[in-house]
Amino acid sequence: MFGLFSKKQPQPTVTSEDKVWIEESLSWFLEAFGLERLQARPFIAPTFENFPYNELNDSRQFQQLFEQLCVYFDVAPDDIAVSFFDDIQSEEWTSVPVYSNAAEPAGLYTQVYTSSGQRFHIELAKSNLNHPELLVAVLAHELAHVKLLGGNYLHPDNDDMEQMTDLATIFFGFGIFMANSVHTQGRYWTSRVGYLPSQIISYMNALICYITETDVHSYLGLLNSNTIDLFKKDYEFLSLTGDTTLTPEKLLEHDQTFQHFAKIQQHLDHRNYEQVIAESEALLRHLPGDIGAYNSWGYALLVQKKYSEAIHQFTKAIELNPYWEYPYNNRGYCLLQLEDLENGFADITQSMELNQHNAYAWRNLGAYYSKTGMPEKALEYLEQAEKMDPKTEMINFYLGQVHLKLGNTEQAQHYLAKSKELQEDNDATIE
Protein backbone atom coordinates (compact mmCIF):
# COMPACT_ATOMS: atom_id res chain seq x y z
CA MET A 1 0.00 0.00 0.00
CA PHE A 2 2.72 2.44 0.97
CA GLY A 3 4.46 1.73 -2.33
CA LEU A 4 1.76 3.69 -4.12
CA PHE A 5 2.77 6.81 -2.22
CA SER A 6 6.52 6.31 -2.50
CA LYS A 7 6.63 5.79 -6.25
CA LYS A 8 8.64 8.62 -7.79
CA GLN A 9 6.73 10.65 -10.37
CA PRO A 10 8.58 11.70 -13.55
CA GLN A 11 9.68 15.32 -13.56
CA PRO A 12 11.20 17.55 -16.27
CA THR A 13 14.79 18.65 -15.83
CA VAL A 14 13.82 22.34 -16.20
CA THR A 15 12.12 24.62 -13.69
CA SER A 16 8.40 25.28 -14.06
CA GLU A 17 9.20 28.84 -15.19
CA ASP A 18 11.61 27.61 -17.88
CA LYS A 19 9.11 24.99 -19.01
CA VAL A 20 6.50 27.70 -19.59
CA TRP A 21 9.02 29.91 -21.41
CA ILE A 22 10.11 27.07 -23.72
CA GLU A 23 6.56 26.05 -24.60
CA GLU A 24 5.44 29.65 -25.17
CA SER A 25 8.50 30.24 -27.36
CA LEU A 26 7.85 27.10 -29.41
CA SER A 27 4.22 28.21 -29.82
CA TRP A 28 5.47 31.54 -31.16
CA PHE A 29 7.84 29.80 -33.61
CA LEU A 30 4.98 27.65 -34.86
CA GLU A 31 2.85 30.72 -35.55
CA ALA A 32 5.77 32.53 -37.20
CA PHE A 33 7.23 29.67 -39.27
CA GLY A 34 4.63 26.90 -39.39
CA LEU A 35 4.08 23.39 -38.08
CA GLU A 36 4.80 21.85 -41.49
CA ARG A 37 8.38 23.12 -41.41
CA LEU A 38 8.95 21.52 -38.00
CA GLN A 39 7.33 18.21 -38.93
CA ALA A 40 9.23 17.98 -42.22
CA ARG A 41 12.64 18.32 -40.57
CA PRO A 42 12.56 18.14 -36.76
CA PHE A 43 16.24 17.13 -36.57
CA ILE A 44 19.16 17.25 -38.98
CA ALA A 45 21.65 14.48 -38.28
CA PRO A 46 25.35 15.42 -37.94
CA THR A 47 26.47 12.89 -40.54
CA PHE A 48 28.78 12.98 -43.54
CA GLU A 49 25.80 12.04 -45.68
CA ASN A 50 24.12 15.33 -44.75
CA PHE A 51 27.33 17.39 -44.68
CA PRO A 52 29.82 15.83 -47.14
CA TYR A 53 32.77 18.11 -46.40
CA ASN A 54 36.24 16.86 -45.50
CA GLU A 55 38.27 20.09 -45.68
CA LEU A 56 36.41 23.20 -44.58
CA ASN A 57 39.60 25.27 -44.75
CA ASP A 58 39.01 25.03 -48.49
CA SER A 59 36.97 28.19 -49.22
CA ARG A 60 34.84 26.39 -51.82
CA GLN A 61 33.78 23.70 -49.37
CA PHE A 62 33.04 26.32 -46.73
CA GLN A 63 30.96 28.27 -49.26
CA GLN A 64 28.96 25.14 -50.11
CA LEU A 65 28.30 24.49 -46.42
CA PHE A 66 27.33 28.10 -45.84
CA GLU A 67 24.86 28.14 -48.73
CA GLN A 68 23.41 24.80 -47.62
CA LEU A 69 22.72 26.21 -44.15
CA CYS A 70 21.20 29.36 -45.65
CA VAL A 71 18.69 27.14 -47.48
CA TYR A 72 17.67 25.51 -44.18
CA PHE A 73 16.92 28.94 -42.68
CA ASP A 74 15.51 30.44 -45.88
CA VAL A 75 17.89 33.41 -45.80
CA ALA A 76 19.79 34.90 -48.76
CA PRO A 77 23.57 34.20 -48.77
CA ASP A 78 24.16 37.44 -50.66
CA ASP A 79 22.77 39.41 -47.71
CA ILE A 80 25.49 38.07 -45.40
CA ALA A 81 29.24 38.57 -45.21
CA VAL A 82 31.41 36.10 -43.29
CA SER A 83 34.88 36.86 -41.96
CA PHE A 84 37.31 34.93 -39.78
CA PHE A 85 39.83 35.86 -37.12
CA ASP A 86 42.86 33.76 -36.18
CA ASP A 87 42.20 33.37 -32.45
CA ILE A 88 41.15 35.34 -29.40
CA GLN A 89 44.65 36.68 -28.75
CA SER A 90 45.50 37.65 -32.31
CA GLU A 91 45.87 41.29 -33.25
CA GLU A 92 46.03 40.41 -36.94
CA TRP A 93 42.61 39.73 -38.33
CA THR A 94 42.11 37.81 -41.54
CA SER A 95 39.06 37.96 -43.78
CA VAL A 96 37.44 35.31 -45.95
CA PRO A 97 34.68 36.70 -48.20
CA VAL A 98 31.59 34.75 -49.15
CA TYR A 99 32.06 33.98 -52.84
CA SER A 100 28.94 35.03 -54.67
CA ASN A 101 28.31 37.24 -57.68
CA ALA A 102 26.35 39.79 -55.69
CA ALA A 103 28.45 39.61 -52.54
CA GLU A 104 30.82 42.37 -51.56
CA PRO A 105 34.13 41.56 -49.86
CA ALA A 106 33.62 40.74 -46.21
CA GLY A 107 34.69 43.42 -43.77
CA LEU A 108 36.56 43.16 -40.50
CA TYR A 109 34.40 43.37 -37.40
CA THR A 110 35.08 42.97 -33.71
CA GLN A 111 31.86 41.16 -32.76
CA VAL A 112 30.89 37.57 -33.40
CA TYR A 113 27.64 38.88 -34.89
CA THR A 114 26.74 42.38 -35.98
CA SER A 115 24.27 44.00 -38.32
CA SER A 116 25.30 47.02 -40.35
CA GLY A 117 23.65 48.81 -43.24
CA GLN A 118 22.59 46.64 -46.15
CA ARG A 119 24.20 43.39 -45.02
CA PHE A 120 24.54 41.14 -42.03
CA HIS A 121 28.03 40.25 -40.85
CA ILE A 122 29.10 37.02 -39.19
CA GLU A 123 32.59 36.66 -37.77
CA LEU A 124 33.99 33.30 -36.73
CA ALA A 125 37.16 31.94 -35.21
CA LYS A 126 39.27 30.31 -37.91
CA SER A 127 39.92 27.37 -35.58
CA ASN A 128 36.25 26.39 -35.92
CA LEU A 129 37.02 25.18 -39.44
CA ASN A 130 38.85 22.21 -37.90
CA HIS A 131 35.72 21.17 -35.93
CA PRO A 132 32.91 20.60 -38.50
CA GLU A 133 30.10 19.77 -36.07
CA LEU A 134 31.00 22.73 -33.89
CA LEU A 135 31.20 25.02 -36.93
CA VAL A 136 27.71 23.98 -38.04
CA ALA A 137 26.36 24.72 -34.54
CA VAL A 138 27.94 28.18 -34.50
CA LEU A 139 26.86 29.05 -38.05
CA ALA A 140 23.34 27.76 -37.44
CA HIS A 141 23.02 30.03 -34.40
CA GLU A 142 24.18 33.06 -36.37
CA LEU A 143 21.86 32.30 -39.29
CA ALA A 144 18.95 31.93 -36.85
CA HIS A 145 19.97 35.38 -35.62
CA VAL A 146 19.77 36.70 -39.18
CA LYS A 147 16.38 35.03 -39.63
CA LEU A 148 14.90 36.64 -36.53
CA LEU A 149 16.36 40.10 -37.17
CA GLY A 150 16.06 40.19 -40.94
CA GLY A 151 12.41 39.17 -40.85
CA ASN A 152 11.64 41.69 -38.08
CA TYR A 153 10.53 38.86 -35.82
CA LEU A 154 12.64 40.34 -33.02
CA HIS A 155 14.74 43.47 -32.73
CA PRO A 156 18.27 43.66 -31.28
CA ASP A 157 17.20 45.28 -28.00
CA ASN A 158 15.12 42.25 -27.00
CA ASP A 159 16.42 40.97 -23.65
CA ASP A 160 15.96 37.34 -24.74
CA MET A 161 17.55 37.75 -28.17
CA GLU A 162 20.44 35.30 -27.76
CA GLN A 163 18.39 32.76 -25.81
CA MET A 164 15.57 32.97 -28.37
CA THR A 165 18.15 32.57 -31.13
CA ASP A 166 19.39 29.32 -29.57
CA LEU A 167 15.80 28.06 -29.34
CA ALA A 168 15.17 29.08 -32.97
CA THR A 169 18.31 27.18 -34.00
CA ILE A 170 16.80 24.07 -32.43
CA PHE A 171 13.42 24.75 -34.07
CA PHE A 172 15.04 24.89 -37.53
CA GLY A 173 16.46 21.39 -37.09
CA PHE A 174 19.80 21.84 -35.34
CA GLY A 175 18.87 20.53 -31.90
CA ILE A 176 21.39 17.68 -32.03
CA PHE A 177 24.20 20.06 -32.98
CA MET A 178 23.23 22.41 -30.16
CA ALA A 179 23.04 19.59 -27.61
CA ASN A 180 26.33 18.03 -28.67
CA SER A 181 28.24 21.32 -28.70
CA VAL A 182 26.86 22.92 -25.56
CA HIS A 183 29.93 22.05 -23.50
CA THR A 184 32.53 21.61 -26.25
CA GLN A 185 35.66 23.44 -25.19
CA GLY A 186 39.13 23.88 -26.60
CA ARG A 187 41.93 26.37 -26.97
CA TYR A 188 40.83 29.94 -27.66
CA TRP A 189 37.64 30.10 -29.73
CA THR A 190 37.03 26.45 -30.52
CA SER A 191 34.33 26.31 -27.81
CA ARG A 192 30.60 26.89 -28.01
CA VAL A 193 29.12 27.04 -24.55
CA GLY A 194 26.01 28.74 -25.89
CA TYR A 195 23.39 30.92 -24.29
CA LEU A 196 21.19 28.19 -22.81
CA PRO A 197 21.87 25.62 -20.10
CA SER A 198 21.82 21.95 -21.02
CA GLN A 199 18.45 21.42 -19.33
CA ILE A 200 16.66 23.92 -21.57
CA ILE A 201 18.25 22.51 -24.74
CA SER A 202 17.30 19.03 -23.59
CA TYR A 203 13.66 19.90 -22.85
CA MET A 204 13.25 21.75 -26.16
CA ASN A 205 14.62 18.73 -28.04
CA ALA A 206 12.45 16.30 -26.09
CA LEU A 207 9.37 18.46 -26.69
CA ILE A 208 10.01 18.55 -30.45
CA CYS A 209 10.51 14.77 -30.47
CA TYR A 210 7.26 14.35 -28.57
CA ILE A 211 4.99 16.62 -30.65
CA THR A 212 6.41 15.45 -34.01
CA GLU A 213 6.35 11.77 -32.95
CA THR A 214 9.99 11.39 -33.97
CA ASP A 215 11.63 7.98 -33.51
CA VAL A 216 13.30 8.67 -30.18
CA HIS A 217 15.70 5.71 -30.45
CA SER A 218 17.26 6.95 -33.68
CA TYR A 219 17.54 10.38 -32.12
CA LEU A 220 19.28 9.04 -28.99
CA GLY A 221 21.90 7.36 -31.13
CA LEU A 222 23.07 10.78 -32.34
CA LEU A 223 23.45 12.49 -28.94
CA ASN A 224 26.75 12.61 -27.11
CA SER A 225 27.14 12.56 -23.34
CA ASN A 226 26.43 16.27 -22.88
CA THR A 227 22.65 15.97 -22.68
CA ILE A 228 21.65 12.36 -23.34
CA ASP A 229 20.66 11.60 -19.73
CA LEU A 230 18.75 14.88 -19.44
CA PHE A 231 16.96 14.16 -22.70
CA LYS A 232 15.88 10.70 -21.54
CA LYS A 233 14.34 12.18 -18.38
CA ASP A 234 12.54 14.93 -20.29
CA TYR A 235 11.18 12.61 -22.95
CA GLU A 236 10.04 10.13 -20.29
CA PHE A 237 8.26 12.96 -18.48
CA LEU A 238 6.41 14.06 -21.63
CA SER A 239 5.55 10.59 -22.88
CA LEU A 240 4.24 9.41 -19.48
CA THR A 241 2.39 12.56 -18.38
CA GLY A 242 1.56 14.42 -21.61
CA ASP A 243 2.05 17.52 -19.48
CA THR A 244 2.51 20.21 -22.12
CA THR A 245 0.39 23.06 -23.41
CA LEU A 246 1.25 21.95 -26.95
CA THR A 247 -1.61 19.51 -27.33
CA PRO A 248 -2.72 18.37 -30.81
CA GLU A 249 -5.55 20.91 -30.61
CA LYS A 250 -3.12 23.72 -29.74
CA LEU A 251 -0.76 22.69 -32.53
CA LEU A 252 -3.64 22.92 -35.00
CA GLU A 253 -4.61 26.34 -33.63
CA HIS A 254 -1.03 27.64 -33.97
CA ASP A 255 -0.81 26.31 -37.51
CA GLN A 256 -4.08 27.99 -38.49
CA THR A 257 -2.67 31.28 -37.19
CA PHE A 258 0.47 30.74 -39.27
CA GLN A 259 -1.62 30.04 -42.38
CA HIS A 260 -3.58 33.27 -41.90
CA PHE A 261 -0.41 35.32 -41.49
CA ALA A 262 1.17 33.64 -44.51
CA LYS A 263 -1.84 34.62 -46.64
CA ILE A 264 -1.75 38.18 -45.29
CA GLN A 265 1.92 38.49 -46.22
CA GLN A 266 1.28 37.01 -49.65
CA HIS A 267 -1.48 39.54 -50.31
CA LEU A 268 0.74 42.39 -49.04
CA ASP A 269 3.53 41.29 -51.39
CA HIS A 270 1.10 41.39 -54.32
CA ARG A 271 -0.55 44.63 -53.11
CA ASN A 272 -3.95 42.95 -52.85
CA TYR A 273 -5.05 45.19 -50.00
CA GLU A 274 -8.73 44.24 -49.91
CA GLN A 275 -7.65 40.62 -49.49
CA VAL A 276 -5.30 41.71 -46.69
CA ILE A 277 -8.28 43.22 -44.89
CA ALA A 278 -10.44 40.15 -45.48
CA GLU A 279 -7.72 37.80 -44.22
CA SER A 280 -7.07 40.02 -41.18
CA GLU A 281 -10.76 39.85 -40.33
CA ALA A 282 -10.63 36.05 -40.71
CA LEU A 283 -7.62 35.89 -38.39
CA LEU A 284 -9.43 37.97 -35.77
CA ARG A 285 -12.38 35.57 -35.90
CA HIS A 286 -9.93 32.72 -35.30
CA LEU A 287 -7.83 34.62 -32.75
CA PRO A 288 -9.72 37.63 -31.30
CA GLY A 289 -7.48 40.44 -30.13
CA ASP A 290 -4.49 39.58 -32.32
CA ILE A 291 -2.47 42.79 -32.62
CA GLY A 292 -0.73 41.67 -35.81
CA ALA A 293 -4.09 41.36 -37.56
CA TYR A 294 -5.11 44.88 -36.52
CA ASN A 295 -1.76 46.26 -37.66
CA SER A 296 -2.01 44.51 -41.05
CA TRP A 297 -5.58 45.71 -41.49
CA GLY A 298 -4.50 49.26 -40.67
CA TYR A 299 -1.56 49.09 -43.05
CA ALA A 300 -3.81 47.95 -45.92
CA LEU A 301 -5.97 51.02 -45.28
CA LEU A 302 -2.90 53.27 -44.97
CA VAL A 303 -1.54 52.42 -48.42
CA GLN A 304 -5.00 53.13 -49.83
CA LYS A 305 -4.77 56.56 -48.16
CA LYS A 306 -7.76 55.81 -45.91
CA TYR A 307 -5.90 57.37 -43.02
CA SER A 308 -8.72 57.93 -40.52
CA GLU A 309 -9.90 54.33 -40.88
CA ALA A 310 -6.30 53.10 -40.58
CA ILE A 311 -5.79 55.10 -37.37
CA HIS A 312 -8.76 53.27 -35.86
CA GLN A 313 -7.13 49.88 -36.47
CA PHE A 314 -3.68 50.96 -35.25
CA THR A 315 -5.25 52.37 -32.08
CA LYS A 316 -6.85 48.99 -31.37
CA ALA A 317 -3.44 47.33 -31.70
CA ILE A 318 -1.87 49.89 -29.35
CA GLU A 319 -4.61 49.43 -26.77
CA LEU A 320 -3.97 45.69 -26.80
CA ASN A 321 -0.18 46.06 -26.58
CA PRO A 322 1.27 49.52 -25.83
CA TYR A 323 4.83 48.14 -26.12
CA TRP A 324 4.82 47.17 -29.82
CA GLU A 325 6.47 49.84 -31.95
CA TYR A 326 4.93 49.29 -35.39
CA PRO A 327 1.33 50.46 -34.75
CA TYR A 328 2.69 53.68 -33.19
CA ASN A 329 4.86 54.35 -36.22
CA ASN A 330 2.06 53.56 -38.67
CA ARG A 331 -0.46 55.67 -36.79
CA GLY A 332 2.07 58.51 -36.62
CA TYR A 333 2.50 58.40 -40.39
CA CYS A 334 -1.27 58.59 -40.88
CA LEU A 335 -1.47 61.59 -38.55
CA LEU A 336 1.22 63.35 -40.60
CA GLN A 337 -0.91 62.82 -43.70
CA LEU A 338 -3.87 64.40 -41.91
CA GLU A 339 -1.68 67.39 -40.96
CA ASP A 340 -1.88 66.50 -37.25
CA LEU A 341 1.87 66.96 -37.09
CA GLU A 342 2.47 67.14 -33.35
CA ASN A 343 0.46 64.02 -32.50
CA GLY A 344 2.10 62.29 -35.45
CA PHE A 345 5.51 63.29 -34.11
CA ALA A 346 4.58 61.96 -30.64
CA ASP A 347 3.60 58.55 -32.05
CA ILE A 348 6.70 58.24 -34.24
CA THR A 349 9.06 59.19 -31.41
CA GLN A 350 7.28 56.67 -29.16
CA SER A 351 7.91 54.02 -31.80
CA MET A 352 11.56 55.09 -31.98
CA GLU A 353 11.92 54.78 -28.20
CA LEU A 354 10.62 51.22 -28.38
CA ASN A 355 12.90 50.26 -31.29
CA GLN A 356 15.63 52.48 -32.71
CA HIS A 357 16.39 49.93 -35.43
CA ASN A 358 13.22 50.46 -37.48
CA ALA A 359 14.14 52.31 -40.69
CA TYR A 360 10.50 53.36 -41.17
CA ALA A 361 10.53 55.36 -37.94
CA TRP A 362 13.62 57.22 -39.15
CA ARG A 363 11.93 57.83 -42.50
CA ASN A 364 8.80 59.16 -40.84
CA LEU A 365 10.75 61.52 -38.60
CA GLY A 366 12.49 62.74 -41.76
CA ALA A 367 9.07 63.37 -43.30
CA TYR A 368 7.99 65.26 -40.17
CA TYR A 369 11.02 67.57 -40.25
CA SER A 370 10.51 68.13 -43.95
CA LYS A 371 6.90 69.15 -43.35
CA THR A 372 7.90 71.49 -40.51
CA GLY A 373 10.47 73.42 -42.53
CA MET A 374 13.69 71.74 -41.35
CA PRO A 375 15.06 70.08 -44.50
CA GLU A 376 18.64 69.77 -43.19
CA LYS A 377 17.44 67.78 -40.18
CA ALA A 378 15.04 65.85 -42.39
CA LEU A 379 17.92 64.80 -44.62
CA GLU A 380 19.87 63.41 -41.64
CA TYR A 381 16.98 61.11 -40.66
CA LEU A 382 16.19 60.08 -44.22
CA GLU A 383 19.80 59.22 -45.02
CA GLN A 384 19.97 57.12 -41.84
CA ALA A 385 16.80 55.28 -42.89
CA GLU A 386 18.30 54.62 -46.33
CA LYS A 387 21.51 53.35 -44.73
CA MET A 388 19.58 51.02 -42.42
CA ASP A 389 17.39 49.64 -45.20
CA PRO A 390 17.61 50.99 -48.77
CA LYS A 391 14.38 49.13 -49.58
CA THR A 392 12.36 51.26 -47.15
CA GLU A 393 9.18 52.25 -48.97
CA MET A 394 9.05 55.84 -50.26
CA ILE A 395 12.57 56.61 -49.05
CA ASN A 396 13.57 57.72 -52.56
CA PHE A 397 10.54 59.98 -52.83
CA TYR A 398 11.25 61.74 -49.55
CA LEU A 399 14.97 62.08 -50.27
CA GLY A 400 14.13 63.59 -53.64
CA GLN A 401 11.73 66.09 -52.07
CA VAL A 402 14.21 67.15 -49.40
CA HIS A 403 17.05 67.55 -51.89
CA LEU A 404 14.73 69.77 -53.96
CA LYS A 405 14.13 71.97 -50.92
CA LEU A 406 17.86 72.20 -50.32
CA GLY A 407 18.55 73.11 -53.94
CA ASN A 408 20.43 69.87 -54.66
CA THR A 409 18.98 69.44 -58.13
CA GLU A 410 21.11 66.53 -59.31
CA GLN A 411 20.49 64.44 -56.19
CA ALA A 412 16.80 65.31 -56.28
CA GLN A 413 16.46 64.15 -59.88
CA HIS A 414 18.29 60.91 -59.08
CA TYR A 415 16.01 59.98 -56.18
CA LEU A 416 12.77 61.11 -57.81
CA ALA A 417 13.57 59.13 -60.96
CA LYS A 418 14.18 56.05 -58.80
CA SER A 419 10.94 56.71 -56.92
CA LYS A 420 9.02 56.84 -60.18
CA GLU A 421 10.69 53.64 -61.39
CA LEU A 422 9.66 51.83 -58.19
CA GLN A 423 6.11 53.26 -58.42
CA GLU A 424 6.27 54.50 -54.87
CA ASP A 425 2.99 55.78 -53.47
CA ASN A 426 3.57 59.46 -52.90
CA ASP A 427 2.84 61.38 -49.72
CA ALA A 428 -0.75 62.61 -49.89
CA THR A 429 0.19 66.02 -48.49
CA ILE A 430 2.82 66.82 -51.15
CA GLU A 431 1.80 67.90 -54.63
Instruction: Find residue 82's DSSP bridge partners.
Output: 122
Q: What is the mean pLDDT of the chain?
A: 86
Which pLDDT score is estimated for 193? 52
Domain 359-431: homologous superfamily in CATH: Tetratricopeptide repeat domain (1.25.40.10)
Burial of 216: CB neighbours in 10 Å, binned 0-12, 13-18, 19+: middle
* Strongest mean pLDDT among 101-110, 156-165, 203-212: 203-212
pTM, entire model: 0.79
- Intervals of CATH 1.25.40.10 along the chain: 247-356, 359-431
CB 6, CB 229: distance < 8 Å: no
Q: How far apart (Å, rounded) are the C-alpha atoms in residues 234 and 57?
A: 38
CB-side exposure of 92: number of CA atoms within 13 Å? 0
Which pLDDT score is estimated for 95? 38
pLDDT band for position 156 (cuts 50, 70, 90): low
**pLDDT (tens digit per residue) in 228-247:** 999 999 999 999 999 999 99
Determine the number of helices (DSSP H) and then strands (DSSP E) in the chain: 20, 3
Mean pLDDT of 371-376: 96
Amino acid identity of residue 81, one-letter, is A
* Strongest mean pLDDT among 92-96, 258-262, 283-287, 344-348: 344-348
Mean pLDDT of 10-30: 95
Which pLDDT score is estimated for 117? 47
Q: How many CB atoms lie within 10 A of CB 183?
A: 15
CB 165, CB 196: distance < 8 Å: no
Percent of the residues in the chain that have a pLDDT greater than 70, as a whole number: 85
**Taking the C-alpha atoms of 190, 193, 198 and 203 in order, what is their torsion angle to the nearest 10 degrees?**
-90
DSSP 8-state symbol, 104: P
Closest CA to 414 of 395, 391, 387: 395
**pLDDT (tens digit per residue) in 70-94:** 999 999 898 888 888 775 554 444 4
Burial of 301: CB neighbours in 10 Å, binned 0-12, 13-18, 19+: buried
DSSP 8-state symbol, 146: H
pLDDT band for position 189 (cuts 50, 70, 90): very low
The domain defined by 247-356 carries CATH number 3.40.50.300: no
